Amino acid sequence: MRYYAYYPGCSMEATGLPVEKSIKAIAKPLDLEFIELEDWTCCGSSPFAGVDKSKAIGITARTLAQAEKTGLDLVTPCSSCYTILQEANDLLKEDHKLAERVREALSAIGLSYNGTVKVRHIVEVLFNDVGPAGLAAKVVRPLTGLKAACYAGCQQVRPSYGFDDSEYPDWLDQMAQSLGAEPVNFPLKARCCGSSLVISESDVALDLIHRLLQNAQDNGAQCIVSTTCPLCFTALDVYQPVVNGMFKKKFNLPVLAITQMIAIALGLDIKASALDGNVVSPQKLLKPFLTSKPQADKAETPA
């Protein structure tokens, strides 16, 4: 069993809930344990940094300090949190003046941070600590022939923190392939969905989401396998009907978080993949897999 400090991020408690459920479900079968930080607070995301960066970093530092106490790697499924935690971690090492002020602020709440935390994205953990081969070894329901456009989005791979390729990443593709699926070419796989403007400049964001969906469909995808980021996942799934209305399109591309896909391929109980939380229903597309008998040799013995 491998242990990690876990930081879900606020969106995982709302729009990202289906992804969160699938993460919880696949952890144990993959010999991972994600220990949620106690009483965590928001990461101090980019809108906050746009209001006041120093304060935003102070807020982020609380999470880093909490994680440091556990002595474990800090893992998050939210690409936005990932970038923010990484950036703050770097800045607190490079910008001594800022670090000093943050140190004072933290001491006022009885915390300190010495810069030792390693921040990791859950997709990177799945890829490096479990690996495509490790996944393949546990597959009992191969998703054979399922054509998938794998979407990494932006902040998982940019700015790059040693994570995959920042222009044309393929870690998600490799993992989807190890589950039996067939990744298609997807040129826009690391382009932005505009999620941060989906409320205030919705036309701009919907235009970007439209391009992503069109590009996936044009390349023959039957579904999109997305990163675990609740914001990316929501943009493609929840806003798909809105894009259809606005651009007079009929996209029906189910969006599966990679962790939902893993839950299915591992043959876990249907509740584990939390597919009922998806707005674009994947039930019909996945029916052949969900009703197929798990391959007996690898199936888990029922408890």
Partner 1 sequence: MGDNAQTTFLDEVAALPACDKINQCIQCGVCSGSCTTAMHWEYPPRKVIAMVRSGLKDELLKSNSIWFCVSCYLCTTRCPLDIKPASIVHGLESIALKEGYKPPTTTTTMYRTFSESIVNNGRIYEFGFMFKYYLQTNPLAALKMLPTALKLLVHRRLPLTPKRVKGKADLRIIIDKLSAGVGK
Residues that bind partner 1 (CB under 8 A): 10-11, 13-18, 39-42, 44-55, 57-59, 61-62, 80, 83, 87, 91, 95, 97-98, 101-102, 104-106, 108-109, 154-155, 158-160, 166, 191-192, 194-197, 199-201, 204-205, 208, 234, 238-239, 241-242, 276-279
Nearer to partner 1 (CB atom), residue 254 or residue 267: 254
Q: Which positions from 115 through 134 interact with ligand SF4, judged by CB under 6 A?
A: none
d(CA 298, CA 133): 15
d(CA 253, CA 19): 17
Q: Where are the alpha helices (DSSP H) in 153-282?
A: 171-178, 202-218, 230-238, 240-247, 258-265
Residue 235's binding partner out of ligand SF4, partner 1, none, with CB under 5 to 8 Å set by partner kind: ligand SF4
d(CA 259, CA 272): 10
Q: Is 22 in the site for ligand SF4 (CB under 6 A)?
A: no
Residues 6+ apart with CB under 8 A from 242: 206
Residue 232's binding partner out of ligand SF4, partner 1, none, with CB under 5 to 8 Å set by partner kind: ligand SF4
Q: What minimum distance in Å lies between the beta carbon of 222 and partner 1?
A: 21
Residue 81's binding partner out of partner 1, ligand SF4, none, with CB under 5 to 8 Å set by partner kind: ligand SF4
Q: Give all strands of the β-sheet with 74-76 in edge-to-edge order.
A: 32-36, 2-6, 74-76, 119-121
Nearer to partner 1 (CB atom), residue 49 or residue 139: 49
Q: Which positions from 66 through 105 interact with ligand SF4, judged by CB under 6 A?
A: 78-81, 84
d(CA 251, CA 214): 8
Q: How far apart are the first and last CA of the chain?
A: 19
